Structure 1
């Protein structure tokens, strides 16, 4: 079981991973395919549900470390990378020979059992349990939902953040001058390829 800020569930087969976890009181769902290098994510802005398609960004991993960590019954190796503006550290299990991990993380020579943004424990995931008895008849497939691009979702999210800034500053006294930079992204994805 893999979790981020709450409990979650991880299902893995040769080409797909499904992770269910709790984020902001709503269940976030991720459907990832290593064959097509895409992920479909169900996320929320307020109470509105969006199904989002994103290409998995290329992650260049540095595995030149001797550090290890035991997670469950597995000895995991350390790897680091930059991921969309964040420095991240991962621990992966070579004895689980699948190049998968939570969220949009992949590409190591074993399942990523722990990953997080350096110096930020909020943006992190860690396996709580590992289930290897996956039913043979289990099918993982992208949901048949209308999706928007991740770029469009980020635009909607940024637009909502600006609306909130405007609402919070609308009752200031006349003559008060404030300077507002772009709202800072606190998630693990801080900068995108298109920016």
Structure 2
């Protein structure tokens, strides 16, 4: 069985996670306190190049790809022949130890790594609170919720500006307003 889990900064008691189930070719993740999404594992079209650098004791190789509207650079270690990485970034011939988008709005790096590891922790499916409905939203459902949040923010900013006789703030396009989770 091929499963992976990545823990981000703890945002809820259950954590902010991306869990990849290789047998189902799907990833499961949560956003906010109550929103759980299931989607097919993304296929990222990485372009490998000859650039290398050191991260700790590992020589890492560079790859670049466009993924969901951003241009990413990833540094992966062939010495750790696992096709995984942080967040949803994966699919290279070695473990991704650093990755970032062109604007460095998204930046992932390892502070430390134990390879091979002596850790015997069992990684399990992303957990929801017991009182949470047993439904997983689609990626489109997540995008729709973002659109709804964006529209509410836009309307609220206009109403507040009108209430205080202020200039209506310039509305940014959605890609500037959200750092995507999808």
Report if TM-score (shorter chain) is over 0.5: yes
Q: For residue 34 of structure 2, what is the aligned residue in structure 1? A: 49
Aligned partner (choices 90, 105, 113) of residue 97 of structure 2: 113
Matched, 1:128 2:111: yes
What is the Cα deviation at residue 54 of structure 1?
1.8
Q: Could you tell me which of 55, 58, 63 is aligned with 1:79?
A: 63
> How far apart are residue 161 of structure 1 and its match?
1.6
For each residue in 1:47-88, what CA deviation from the matched residue of structure 2 results, as whole angstroms up to 9, or x when unmatched?
Answer: x4212112222111111x221111121100000111011111
Q: Once superposed, what is the RMSD of the aligned Cα atoms?
A: 2.6
What is the number of equivalent residue pairs in this alignment? 169
Residue 139, structure 1, aligned to residue 139, structure 2: no
Higher helix fraction (1 or 2): 2
In structure 1, the gaps of 5 or more residues are: 1-13
Q: Match of 1:7? A: none
Using CA pairs below 8 Å that are at least 6 residues apart, which structure has the higher relative contact order? Answer: 1
SS of match in other structure, 1:22: coil
Which ranges in structure 2 are unaligned for 5 or more consecutive residues? 129-133
Per the alignment, do residues 19 and 144 of structure 1 end up closer, same or farther by CA in structure 2, a change over 3 Å counting?
Answer: closer
Secondary structure of residue in 1 paired with 2:109: strand
Alignment of 1:183 with 2:174, yes or no, is yes
Q: Helix, strand or coil for the counterpart of 1:98?
A: coil
Say if 1:188 and 1:70 are closer, same or farther in 2 by CA, change over 3 A.
farther
The answer (yes or no) to whether the contact 2:52–2:59 under 8 Å persists in 1 is: yes
Following TM superposition, the consecutive aligned residue runs of length 4 or more in structure 1 with deviations greater than 6 angstroms are: 176-179
Label 1:154 to 1:188 Cα distance change in 2 as closer, same or farther (>3 A): closer
Mapping for residues 21-60 of structure 1, pairs under 5 Å = 21-22=8-9, 25-26=11-12, 27-44=15-32, 48-60=33-45
State TM-score, norm by structure 2: 0.80
